[in-house]
Chain A
Amino acid sequence: MVTKRKAKAPECGLLIDYEYCTGCYACQVACAQEHHWPAGMGGIRVQEVVQALPNDRAYLAFIPFPTELCVLCAARTRKGLQPACVQHCMAACMKYGKIEDLVKEMTKPRMVLWAPRA
């Protein structure tokens, strides 16, 4: 018989204002450095999204995506530091915090709130 596993609700997350993500990859390398990931692994991956638009236009976006390896830098946040990706984000477009607080900061379009772990 299948029993439904009860997932724990995530408490903290990452709010990304991807209107301003420039695709600099600082978050990705900051994470690799912080957690000693070898190339090919890491807690955050930047994705490039090019969307063609009507009238021969296009929009270029980048979105940092927290992977299975993201631990939200628990060791750093316990010390009152920002997660490595958030501190070094060149565009200052990432925010770490409690999800209930971050939700209130979603006051403009082109934002995404990630809750990678409980």
Chain B
Amino acid sequence: MIVRTTAWSAGPGCHGGCGVLAHIEDGKLVKIEGDPDHPINRGRLCARCLAMTQYVDHPERLRSPRKRVGERGENKWVDISWEEAYDLIEEKMGNIREEYGPESMVFSMGTGRDVGAWICLLAYNYGSPNVMFALSGIGCYSPRIAASETVLGDYCVFDGGQWLPKGHDDPRYEVPETIVIWGYNINASCPDNIFGHWVTDLMKKGSKVICIDPRLSFFASRADKWLQLRPGTDGALAMGFLNVLINEGLYDRAFVEKWTNAPHLIRSDTGTLLRASDLIAGGSPDDFVVWDTVSGAPVIWDSANQEFRSPGVAPALEIPADQCAVHLADESSVPVKTVWSTFCAEVAKYPVDRVAKITWLKPEDIIEAARLYANSKPATIQWGVAIDMTPAITPTSMAIAALWCITGNLDTPGGQVIARPAFGAVAYALPGQRGPIKLPDMESDKTRIARDRYGVLSEFIWRAQTDVTLEQIFTGKPYPVKGMWIQACNLIGGIGYDPKRWVKALKKLDFVCVVDTFMTPTAELADIVLPAATFLEKDGIRSWWTPLESIVKAMEVDGCRPDNEINFELAKRFNPDIKWANLHELLDEIVSPSGMTFDELAERGWELPPDGDPSAPYLRHERGLLRPDGKPGFKTPSGKMELYSVLRERWGFEPLPHHEEPPFSPVSSPELYEQYPLILSTGRRSPVYFNSEHRNIPWLREVDPDPVVELHPETGASLGIGDGEWVWIENMFGKCRLKAKLTPIVPRWMASATHGWWYPEHEGAEPSLRGVWDSSTNQLLPMGYQGKDGLGTHAKCTLCKVYRAHTAPPGAYALPGGGVIGGATSTAATGAGPAPGHAARRGGVSTGSGKEA
């Protein structure tokens, strides 16, 4: 039997979307292949998905709920039935809700999992608004989406033809002349629901590449322009690009005039936007003002009706100095300037020479890259998590969004396409979206952690702020946190910075439940662990941009249950009045905007939204497809793309894009830089792992057997470090032990360290916690350094020193057949490592027919 379904999360771990054909024999997975007809991957499939036979039938996979019988972290468990597990969870979480209120339970998830919807289902029906993405500063994807929502009302991605049935061959499509790959080794993990190799496909069709990356990636090697910038200075670079574009007139002035709020006026006295309420008695504070060059007078822009209050207005982008005062309703007179002048003045603070000094780039490289981007039609930018991993994420994203807008590439074929979930069917509510899974009322949202501290959390991001949550666990202020539900999330071994502090935090809680496929360092600290199903073992939906896709159950693994079934069952227990009789009714409601039921969608496998649907390109701002009122324009307060952000002004943050130094850098902390003279960038992606997963999958582990830190050969030589030697990476917060790889693909001043390392084959009980303290780079990253608006982090731009470790971590990985990888002390390593039988078993054929191993 061959089952056609969609890969997402548990299994390959990724943000998913690829079509697969699962070959099932006698209820077992014997082979998995890419679906040649699928519009995303067209028959291709990545290493992680191709290793699914070793995943689903892994001997160490969790196959029964278990209950802790020793202390937390002692790794003492007893298997229990699902019914007993549900009863216990109902009792423990019920007690917390009764005694402290539902907000005292936090629901923690990892990155881009399909569990996003289902964890909200459970949290919201329990009554808690505290769904937490467990990374400091919510620093992955959500900040970029929220920043784009803030200034544009929507999010954008590069146009890889993904909205068109024939992809690149569709007559409506244009191959981008230039693709900017910004902080992104996209082929290695297909993050942000983009299939990385679309870029490679387009390079073959002639797209040029500008690669912005300190590390020589595949793209950097082949780029027409490679900018090897200092990590954390992306904002300065974007401002430098804008500087070149504006000074050289390489922008689309007609777009700026018509579609941005560039002509809106700013009061020189307060520095804030001039509003109709300032100008006339009874004017609305939501309406703005422009200078009309025809009448030589201010005219009101009616935001609600998306029109000027008088006809024939020609708004000025710049106002002559002698006409720059307006009379206000209170009879006073105030000098004004336009948003455009203000924006240009901010950009003018970033001349190329200054930007070159900040970014450690050559001025001519910045200029040439800016010109190449601006002169290419169409051109597109695909940015990565490196942008989120700067604390000034929002102002940086605003600068990059301005780039794609003022060059006229917005929602054009081959340009920057506005991305909405296909048909508006929201399975997983990303910033700015609301699906059918909601809190019972908005009142319940008021207790969400740090919602009131950070405006963007009240407006777009429906999450508890992670750093504040951690502090609240210790302070109990303004209310105690008493329990945590952790699902598809390796808080200690993967996503949590300062993981030792998280261990202390978990130990303070009354109740911790972990749902996962394998034991992890995090699961070791739970009271109850539930065994989750992989994507092959569940029904579900993926509507992350496009297409709308069904996930259908191809098989079952005894003892395991799908996240959505687990959460639906518990949601029903905590809220007997839940709206849906069963999970399939909920799936039907989620896909209903497409006009299909779940079964109808499952029959088709996927569906692309038709032209004319607000979720299908192109030029939707011109066609009135973006705003709820059907008028042309954008879903922002002014209806314009906002070069000066109305919302940021309201929230009390800088309304203009700019650069800020990360907290630990040669510039912001020169004294620390003397002590820790290398820039530490953590988290370069491996194509065979998704974050902290897959180290226990033999076909994948053999590709990337050890945690690696890349150092330039000259840096290694100067530190007396040889290729393949184990080294300590240390800074003011902690240290970890990785294996040095000397390679000229990194600059001399950087240590590029792989993240998410723990050793599934090691002892589960403390103090080992599956070896997490050996090689977790997060020990060098503190919590609490999020950006001013609660977003953004510093994982890719901090400081460290590196020195020889002389020994390998205990129990270096043993290959089947007795070979040992990575042992500086290889004899000892073999002795302490997994038993030969253990390794051989894991290396063997896990399922299936044909040849025996």
Task: Please give, as numbers and ranges, the residues of chain A lying within 8 Å of B817 by CB-CB distance.
Answer: 38, 40
User: Contacts A50-B744, A52-B744: A39 and B187 contacting too (C-beta < 8 A)?
Assistant: no
Q: Does A20 count as interface, using CB distance less than 8 angstroms? A: yes
B703 at interface, CB cutoff 8 A: yes
Asked, given contacts A50-B743, A91-B197, whether A60 binds B703 with beta carbons under 8 Å apart, the answer is no
Residues of the B chain whose Cβ atoms lie less than 8 Å from the Cβ of A28: 47, 699, 703
Q: Is the CB of B32 within 8 A of A23?
A: no
Are A34 and B31 within 8 A (Cβ)? yes
Q: Compute the total of residue contacts between A and B using a CB distance below 8 Å.
A: 125
Question: Given A22, A30, A36, A40, which contacts B50 in the complex, CB threshold below 8 Å?
Answer: A30
How near does chain B come to A19, taking the closest CB pair, in angstroms?
7
B221 at interface by CB-CB < 8 Å: yes
Q: Which residues of A contact B47 (CB under 8 A)?
A: 24-26, 28-29
Chain B nearest Cβ from A35, distance in angstroms: 7
Q: Which of B745, B815, B851 contacts A60 (CB 8 A)?
A: B745
Which of B43, B197, B204, B844 has the most chain A CB atoms inside 10 A of its CB? B197
A89 to B53, CA, bound (A): 19
The docked-state distance in angstroms from the alpha carbon of A52 to that of B714 is: 12
CA distance A35 to B699 in the complex (A): 13
Q: Which of B795-848 contact A (CB under 8 A)?
A: 815-817, 819, 840, 842-845, 848
Asked whether, in the complex, the Cβ of B201 is within 8 Å of the Cβ of A39, the reply is no
Evaluate contact between A38 and B688: CB separation under 8 angstroms: no
**Do B688 and A25 touch across chains, with their CB atoms under 8 A apart?**
yes
Give chain B residues whose Cβ lies under 8 Å from the Cβ of A33: 31-32, 50-51, 53, 699
Q: Which A residues touch B720, using CB under 8 A?
A: none
Q: Which of A28-63 contact B (CB under 8 A)?
A: 28-30, 32-40, 46, 50, 52, 58-62
A90 within 8 A of B: yes
Chain A interface, number of residues (Cβ within 8 angstroms): 34
A34 to B217, CA, bound (A): 29
Whether the pair A40, B46 counts as a contact (CB closer than 8 A) is no
The residue among B32, B44, B816 with the most chain A CB atoms within 10 A of its own CB is: B44
Residues in B with CB closer than 8 Å to A58 are 216, 221, 744-745
Q: In the assembled complex, which residues on chain A have CB atoms less than 8 Å from the CB atom of B508?
A: none
Question: How near does chain A come to B839, taking the closest CB pair, in angstroms?
Answer: 9
Q: Which of A19, A39, A91 is in CB contact (< 8 Å) with B701?
A: A39
Give bound CA distance, A52 to B712, whole Å: 11
> CA A96 – CA B745 in complex, angstroms?
31
Q: Which of A60-115 contact B (CB under 8 A)?
A: 60-62, 87-93
**If A22-B218, A24-B687, A29-B50 touch, does A36 touch B848 (CB 8 Å cutoff)?**
yes
Q: How far is the CA of A22 from the CA of B219 in the complex (A)?
A: 9
Is B221's CB under 8 angstroms from A26's CB?
no
Tell me if A90 and B700 are in contact (CB < 8 A): no
Residues of B within 8 A of A22 (CB): 187-188, 196-197, 200, 218, 687
Collect the chain A residues with CB atoms within 8 Å of residue B623's CB: none
Binary contact readout B380-422 vs A (1 if CB under 8 angstroms, 0 otherwise): 0000000000000000000000000000000000000000000
Residues of B within 8 A of A92 (CB): 44, 197, 200-201
- Within 8 Å by CB of B845, from A36, A40, A59, lies A36
CB-defined contacts of B687 to chain A, threshold 8 Å: 22-25
- Bound Cα distance A26, B43 (Å): 12
Looking at B200, B201, B700, B843, the one whose CB has the most chain A CB atoms below 10 A away is: B200
- For B218, list chain A residues within 8 Å (CB): 22-23, 60, 62
Judge if B850 is at the interface, Cβ distance under 8 Å.
yes
Q: Is the CB of B197 within 8 A of A90?
A: yes
Interface centre among A35, A39, A50, A61, by most chain B C-beta atoms within 10 angstroms, is A39
Residues on B with C-beta less than 8 A from A35 are 851
A60 B216 Cβ-Cβ under 8 A:
yes
Query: Is B853 located at the chain interface by the 8 A CB criterion?
Result: yes
User: Are A88 and B843 in contact, CB atoms less than 8 angstroms apart?
Assistant: no
Contact between B703 and A88, CB atoms less than 8 A apart: no
Question: Do A24 and B46 have beta carbons less than 8 Å apart?
Answer: yes
Assuming A20-B204, A58-B216, is B50 touching A26 (CB within 8 A)?
Answer: yes
Interface residues of B in 173-221 (CB under 8 A from A): 187-188, 196-197, 200-201, 203-204, 216-218, 220-221
Give the chain A neighbours of B46 by CB distance below 8 A. 24, 26, 90
Cβ contact of B702, chosen from A24, A39, A62, cutoff 8 A:
A39
A87 engages B43 (CB within 8 Å): yes
Flag whether B45 is at the interface (Cβ < 8 A).
Answer: yes
Q: Is the CB of A88 within 8 A of B34?
A: yes
Q: How far is the CB of A32 from chain B (nearest CB, A)?
A: 5
List chain B residues, Cβ under 8 A from A89: 44
B39-81: CB near A (< 8 Å → 1, else 0) gives 0000111110011010000000000000000000000000000
User: CB-nearest residue of chain A relative to B36?
Assistant: A87
Q: What separation, in Å, do the CA atoms of A19 and B209 have in the docked complex? A: 14
Q: Hey, which chain B residues are within 8 Å of A25, CB to CB?
A: 47, 687-688, 703
Minimum Cβ distance to chain A for residue B442 (Å): 44
- Is B853's CB under 8 angstroms from A38's CB? yes
The answer to whether A88 touches B216 (Cβ under 8 A) is no
**A40 in complex: contacting residue of B45, B187, B197, B816, CB < 8 Å:** B816
CB pair A88 B222 closer than 8 Å: no
Rounded to whole angstroms, the CA-CA distance of A117 and B278 in the bound complex is 82
A24 to B195, CA, bound (A): 13
Name the CB-closest residue of A to B215.
A60
Chain B residues close to A by CB (< 8 Å): 31-34, 36, 43-47, 50-51, 53, 187-188, 196-197, 200-201, 203-204, 216-218, 220-222, 687-688, 698-703, 743-745, 815-817, 819, 840, 842-845, 848, 850-853
Sample 22 A-B pairs with CB under 8 A, ordered by A number.
A22-B196, A24-B687, A26-B50, A28-B699, A29-B688, A38-B817, A39-B815, A39-B816, A40-B702, A40-B817, A40-B819, A50-B216, A58-B216, A60-B220, A61-B221, A62-B218, A87-B33, A90-B44, A90-B187, A90-B197, A91-B187, A93-B200
Binding site for B on A (CB under 8 A): 19-20, 22-26, 28-30, 32-40, 46, 50, 52, 58-62, 87-93
9 A-B pairs closest in CB distance: A39-B698, A38-B843, A29-B47, A29-B50, A39-B702, A22-B187, A58-B744, A60-B221, A39-B843
20 extra interchain contacts, Cβ-Cβ under 8 A, other than A90-B196, A91-B200? A24-B188, A28-B47, A29-B51, A29-B688, A32-B51, A33-B32, A36-B848, A38-B816, A38-B817, A39-B816, A40-B817, A60-B216, A60-B217, A87-B44, A88-B34, A88-B44, A88-B45, A90-B45, A90-B200, A93-B200
